[in-house]
Amino acid sequence: MAKTIRVGIIGASAQGGWARESHVPAVTDLEGLDFIAVATNSQATADAAARAFGVPSAFASGLDLARSADVDLVAVCTRVPDHRDIVLAAIAAGKHVYCEWPLGKDVAEAEEMAAAARRAGVLTAVGLQLRANPAAKKARELIASGTIGRLLSVSTYSSTAGFGPDVPEQFLYLEEPANFANLVTIQGAHTIDLAVAVAGPLKDLNALTTRQYPQIAAGAEGERRPRVTYDHLLLQGRLAAGSALSVEVAGGRPPEDTPFSLRLVGDRGVIDLDGGAMRGLQSGRLGLALNGARQAIDEGELAPLPDAAANVGGVYAGLRDAIRGGSSGVTDFDHAVRLTRLVTDLLASSETGTRNTSPDWPTG
């Protein structure tokens, strides 16, 4: 029987947050993973999380969990500015690492973490979990096998309730551009990465970022202040195969809006992906239709997982298999570096009004 991988999750609070909704159910339910440690930013909340999740070890600091001898795989689910130090500590301790997206707050930080992992020979995964979504994988296969013929155009719309006019205290860090955690770097990056995963690499792009809510009400007091990040993104690009890509990503949208749609039109057919969740396409299941007919998607071991955990479960399953030596299909830190570059370049394109191209964007 294959060895069980002991997992520690940093940032898994019993109170709520992304780790509780996605990482905890995935690690708890999937075969071959043993959820053995949790860290938050105080001993009291870590102890409460350990009790809530039935986990034996609780750490008051992510750095302590990262260095724990009992852990094989460290999941880093803290906010973006806190990723680097914890990730580097985990790598230095010889751990495999799953770090949430965005990996770092700029290309240099992402490169530093990717280089450290390569030198240490540990395996990495980044939280671009849509690549592990079964419907997205099916769409990629259908494109690659020529089911809809030559791909002509790809258009996608993705919205979120986040990044609207009212910003609670816990999300104010998303309004600071230096944290690289905003609509463009999070929702925009997930959306573009999915399009590229399914349809192939981008050859060039131009982007337009705007503010649909130029004033925000910040924190509990609702202090009025100008928004300095962007809450809307339009991107046009050419894919390497020659097809056209159009992307719209919108923040602050009401529940009535469509969370996500992606249409791939070939010269012999059409594929539609839809689904997602109000807080973004990355947080929910996706469905697939071929020429208007909904297709059954075999989710395998991900089927029992709650919606918010299903895609993240796909990342854990891939990383588990890679650690066991059985697969190499994990979206790793090197990919995260490439996507960080693409996002940086699209922001520059919007600032300067120029069309950008680079050999260093995601390769597909």
**Residues that bind ligand NAD in the complex, under the rule CB under 6 A:** 10-11, 13, 17-19, 39-41, 45, 61-62, 77-80, 82, 100-101, 127, 129, 170, 181, 282-283
Instruction: Please report, for residues 12, 65, 303, the alpha-carbon distance to residue 42 in angstroms, rounded to integers and kept in the order given.
Output: 12, 12, 34
Q: Which helix (H) or strand (E) holds 124?
A: strand 124-126
Which DSSP symbol is given to 355? Answer: -
**Residue at 155: amino acid letter:** S
Of 76 and 143, nearer to ligand NAD (C-beta) is: 76
Q: Judged by CB, which is closer to ligand NAD: 61, or 155? A: 61
Residue at 172: amino acid letter = L
Q: At its nearest, how many Å lie between ligand NAD and the CB of residue 79?
A: 5
Quote the least distance from Cβ 282 to ligand NAD, whole Å.
4
Give whichever of 191 and 283 is closer to ligand NAD, judged by the CB atom: 283
Per the CB < 8 A criterion, the answer to whether 214 and 179 are in contact is no
What is the spatial distance between Cα 311 and Cα 288, in angstroms, rounded to a whole number? 15
Q: In the chain, what is the greatest distance between 2 CA atoms, to the nearest angstrom?
A: 59
Specify the residue, 187 or 356, whose C-beta has the smaller distance to ligand NAD.
187
Task: Kindly tell me which of 142 and 342 has the beta carbon lying closer to ligand NAD.
Answer: 342
Closest contact distance (angstroms) between CB of 286 and ligand NAD is 13
Interatomic CA distance for residues 204 and 193, integer angstroms: 14
Judged by beta carbon, residue 2 or residue 178, the one nearer ligand NAD is 178
Phi, psi values for residue 326, rounded to 5°: -100, -10
Bond into 259 cis (ω within 30): no
To ligand NAD, the closest distance from the beta carbon of 160 in angstroms equals 10
Q: How far is the CB of 280 from ligand NAD (least distance, A)?
A: 6
Torsion sign (Cα): 39, 42, 43, 47 = negative
* 159 in Cβ contact with 257 (< 8 Å): yes
Q: Which of 68, 57, 62 is nearest to 19 (CA)?
A: 62
Which residue in the block uniquely carries the two structure tokens 């297709």? 295
Tokens in use for 151? Answer: 């791909």
Minimum distance between the CB of residue 64 and ligand NAD, rounded to whole angstroms?
8
Would you say how long the chain is, in residues?
364
Q: Cβ closer to ligand NAD: 18 or 333?
A: 18
**Least Å distance between CB 2 and ligand NAD?**
27
The answer to whether the beta carbons of residues 265 and 153 sit under 8 Å apart is yes
Least Å distance, CB 311 to ligand NAD, is 8
**Least distance (Å) between residue 8 CB and ligand NAD:** 10
| Closer by beta carbon to ligand NAD, 78 or else 350 | 78
Q: Which is nearer to ligand NAD, 53 or 101 (CB)?
A: 101
Is residue 334 within a helix (H) or strand (E), and if so which, with residue range?
helix 333-352
